[in-house]
């Protein structure tokens, strides 16, 4: 943007990070704001090529209805590019939507977020931006990250003083609450849009963009730190609900109650609400574990040890729940699964996405592989290469020798191929297709006595049992 024109409406947006958040978010923004040119950039050239691919089945992110939006907007007002500097230079507003994984070494390893990419984005913006530029944090970040971005950018503002085109930056926080699998609907009809920031002109400009499709009463404005913290707390509350209901599932299994009935009974209380009460193999995805652990780190930093322990338990229960399911499988299969073929239905961390980050499926498969089971995986959307990379890493960790590695697992998009000769089927992702299977045919292909372990409660237990297969599902009353 040209200097001294900060009253103008936004015409050019750049988003750094063409991942699960940046891609769909910018696609919807471009679709709703035909007068704004949106350029999504990424350092990963291969990913950008896939976003630009003629074949819409090759988009790097699978999300229902995404390809239709890409078709409508791409090369019109939505562009995917590797030319990061140029996109920043032309932008009035730059969204930072890069990943912030948990640090694996150094201070805060295992809990704090690795902010090296956010920091390098801030520097890149500082170098390349021309004129007044609004920088918007989209990524979920630890509280006070905006201060880091501010400090870095203020150096570039100062160093450009005296030049004709003085840069001025405003920093906003605008966390994304979309849930994968329903991202498009969540972006088109969000419960709320949260904007944190002090510079009212910048806040208004971002509000103006959202006014194109979001009613004003849904836009909540706060200070920067409340906005950053609200995103962390939102995810922590959601994760806490899942750990709570999974702990209740274990009580149900012991006591003769049924977790589905308990969920319904408690969820009918408006104060509790119906959503997010499905017991399962635990939460996965890029956010929940990372954000809760971030919160734990923050609490310890502030000396709030009891508060930290409280939130940490949410993550500990999640892993405990996965180990619990794995132990039940081994125990039902006569305490031995070495050499047995186990069919795993679903590898994505939830249905309607090809994302596998922190997938419960991966965690449970890893435990089963450590018992030397042979795993046959089915998933309708996850790329086989993704599974291969992850399992290769896990097999190395559990010290399976190289010669055996590729005999330990198979992948197929054909259900019947997957179950052929299997002793058990473990349903780990709630893909719709798994609730409408021909159990008679599946049973005829399996080795008996055979089992179905339904960790998502999505199959008809009577049909499974009638076909001659033993049945276990999460949360009791089998």
Q: Among 3, 12, 43, 461, which residue interacts with ligand UDX (rule: CB under 6 A)? A: 43
227 is a site residue for ligand UDX (CB under 6 A): no
Choose between 282 and 374: whose C-beta lies nearer to ligand UDX.
Answer: 282
Q: Among 1, 14, 15, 18, which residue interacts with ligand UDX (rule: CB under 6 A)? A: 18
21 is a site residue for ligand UDX (CB under 6 A): yes
Q: Active-site residue 287, yes or no? A: yes
End-to-end CA distance of the chain: 63
Choose between 285 and 380: whose C-beta lies nearer to ligand UDX.
Answer: 285
Q: Among 1, 13, 14, 16, which residue interacts with ligand UDX (rule: CB under 6 A)? A: 16
Q: Which residue is nearest to ligand UDX (CB)?
A: 19
Other C-beta atoms closer than 10 Å to the C-beta of 348 total 28
Q: Among 12, 148, 157, 179, which residue interacts with ligand UDX (rule: CB under 6 A)? A: 179
140 is a site residue for ligand UDX (CB under 6 A): yes
Choose between 249 and 400: whose C-beta lies nearer to ligand UDX.
Answer: 249
Q: Identify whether the C-beta of residue 14 lies closer than 8 Å to the C-beta of residue 96.
A: no
Q: Among 32, 37, 47, 168, which residue interacts with ligand UDX (rule: CB under 6 A)? A: 47
Q: Identify whether the C-beta of residue 387 lies closer than 8 Å to the C-beta of residue 347.
A: yes
Rounded Cα gap, residues 24 and 37, in angstroms: 15
Choose between 30 and 408: whose C-beta lies nearer to ligand UDX.
Answer: 30
Q: Which of the ranges 28-36, 282-290, 313-321, 394-402 carries the binding residues for ligand UDX, by CB under 6 A?
A: 282-290
356 is a site residue for ligand UDX (CB under 6 A): no
Residue 53 burial by Cβ neighbours in a 10 Å radius (0-12, 13-18, 19+): middle
Show the tokens assigned to 83.
Answer: 């030319």
For 370-405, give one letter per residue: b (16+ CB within 10 A) or e: ebebbbbbbbbbbeeebbeebbeebbeeeebeeeee
Report which of 138, 16, 126, 124 is spatially closest to residue 80, judged by C-alpha positions: 16
Rounded to the nearest 5 percent, the helix, strand and coil shares of the chain are: 45, 15, 40
Catalytic residue of the set 14, 15, 252, 287? 287
352 is a site residue for ligand UDX (CB under 6 A): no
Rounded Cα gap, residues 59 and 71, in angstroms: 11
Choose between 20 and 472: whose C-beta lies nearer to ligand UDX.
Answer: 20
Q: Which residues are catalytic?
A: 287
Residues of the shown chain interacting with ligand UDX in the complex, contacts defined by CB under 6 A: 16-22, 42-44, 47, 97-100, 117, 120-121, 138-140, 176-180, 235, 238, 242, 276-278, 280, 283-288, 349-350
């Amino acid at each position: 943007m040209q200097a001294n024109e900060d009253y103008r409406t936004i015409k050019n947006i750049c988003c750094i990070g063409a991942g699960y958040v940046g891609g769909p978010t910018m696609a919807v923004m471009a679709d709703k704001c035909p007068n704004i040119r949106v350029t999504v950039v990424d350092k990963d050239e291969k990913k950008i090529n896939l976003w630009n691919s003629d074949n819409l089945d090759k988009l790097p992110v699978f999300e229902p209805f995404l390809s239709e939006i890409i078709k409508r907007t791409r090369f019109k007002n939505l562009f995917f590019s590797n030319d990061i500097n140029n996109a920043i230079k032309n932008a009035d507003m730059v969204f930072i939507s890069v990943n912030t994984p948990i640090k694996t070494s150094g201070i805060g390893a295992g809990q704090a977020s690795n902010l090296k990419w956010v920091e390098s984005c801030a520097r890149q913006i500082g170098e390349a931006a021309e004129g007044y530029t609004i920088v918007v944090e989209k990524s979920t970040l630890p509280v006070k990250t905006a201060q880091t971005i501010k400090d870095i950018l203020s150096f570039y503002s100062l160093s450009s003083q005296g030049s004709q085109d003085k840069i001025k930056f405003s920093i906003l926080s605008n966390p994304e609450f979309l849930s994968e699998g329903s991202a498009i609907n969540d972006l088109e009809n969000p419960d709320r849009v949260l904007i944190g920031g002090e510079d009212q002109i910048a806040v208004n400009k971002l509000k103006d963009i959202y006014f194109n499709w979001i009613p004003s009463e849904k836009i909540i404005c706060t200070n920067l730190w409340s906005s950053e913290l609200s995103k962390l707390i939102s995810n922590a509350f959601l994760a806490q609900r899942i750990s709570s209901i999974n702990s209740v599932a274990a009580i149900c299994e012991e006591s003769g109650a049924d977790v589905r009935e308990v969920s319904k009974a408690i969820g009918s209380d408006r104060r509790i609400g119906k959503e997010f009460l499905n017991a399962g193999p635990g939460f996965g995805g890029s956010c929940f574990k990372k954000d809760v652990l971030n919160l734990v780190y923050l609490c310890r930093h502030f000396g709030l040890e009891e508060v930290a322990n409280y939130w940490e338990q949410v993550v500990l229960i999640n892993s405990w729940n996965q180990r619990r399911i794995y132990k039940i499988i081994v125990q039902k299969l006569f305490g031995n699964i070495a050499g047995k073929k186990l069919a795993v239905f679903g590898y994505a961390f939830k249905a309607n996405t090809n994302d596998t980050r922190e997938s419960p499926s991966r965690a449970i498969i890893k435990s089963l592989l450590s018992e030397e089971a042979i795993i046959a995986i089915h998933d309708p959307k996850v790329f086989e290469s993704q599974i291969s990379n992850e399992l290769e890493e896990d097999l190395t960790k559990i010290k399976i020798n190289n010669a055996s590695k590729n005999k330990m697992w198979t992948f197929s998009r054909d259900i019947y191929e997957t179950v052929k000769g299997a002793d058990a089927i473990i349903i780990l992702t709630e893909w719709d297709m798994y609730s409408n299977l021909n159990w008679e045919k599946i049973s005829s292909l399996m080795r008996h006595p055979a089992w179905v372990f339904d960790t998502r409660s999505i199959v008809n237990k009577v049909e499974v049992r009638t076909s001659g297969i033993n049945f276990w599902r999460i949360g009791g009353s089998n």
